[in-house]
Structure 1
Amino acid sequence: MQSNHINYVELPAQHLEANKTFFETVFGWVFEDFGPDYSAFSNSGLDGGFFRAEFTSRPQSGAALVVLYSNDLAQTLARVESHGGTIEQPIFEFPGGRRFHFLDPSGNEWAVWSK
């Protein structure tokens, strides 16, 4: 483990089981439960966890935006939609690539980008 590097991220989940199913199915994440209100995830690029909460993580309210990478942006967008995610911003160009934003089943905002 490297000192002074981001090591773990924790995010709220109003619908913990729905979030776990969504991220397992769409992105291949692996979960380990620690009681009924917390589930750690791995196989995601950065380990972290979801904790049961009644609020959401959205950049508009000051939260950090977690951005995932995809080799096939259109395919990832289709998987997000078909498994219960809501597209917040369709694919758009930005300097360096293209991306889209989506809400997970708990209402947290994420982005996915590609070159």
Structure 2
Amino acid sequence: MSKPAYIEFAAKDLAATKAFFQKVFQWRFEDYGPAYTAFFATNFEGGFYEAPLASSVKSGGALLVLYAEDLPACLAQVEAAGGEISQDIFVFPGGARFHFIEPSGNELAVWSEKAAPEAS
């Protein structure tokens, strides 16, 4: 049986991307040369490689969905750290989520099984 083990994203600005994910999600990073950094999140690992590309749902990219217990608080942290909200909090069967663009242009999402009161 196989399960996802590692995910990689392009990043046009490695320093800004690292600072964003450290501040908002407390990811740890380890650089492997000037053009690659690995990240260590709570439940998974991955990396960012320097390239003028970005992943988005509109272009058919995979959507990495992170978890937060308090969506409104997480959304505020994303904005305060320089992220752009691409889809505000919305409710769906099983919870609620929002989408954001990090400083290098990659789109990710954050979900919670708890529907945010203002999104209901």
Structure 1 range deviating more: 3-12 or 16-25: 3-12
Give the deviation of 1:43 after TM superposition. Answer: 2.4
Which of 18, 30, 33 aligns to 1:32? It is 30
Structure 2: distance between partners of 1:56 and 1:92: 24
CA RMSD across the alignment: 0.9
Give the deviation of 1:22 after TM superposition. Answer: 0.3
Give the deviation of 1:108 after TM superposition. Answer: 0.5
Task: Give 1:68-87 correspondences, 5 Å limit.
Answer: 68-87=66-85
- The answer to whether the aligner puts 1:54 opposite 2:43 as a matched pair is no
**Normalised by the size of structure 1, how large is the TM-score?**
0.95
Give me the identity figure in percent.
53
**Normalised by the size of structure 2, how large is the TM-score?**
0.91
- Give the partner amino acid of 1:113: W
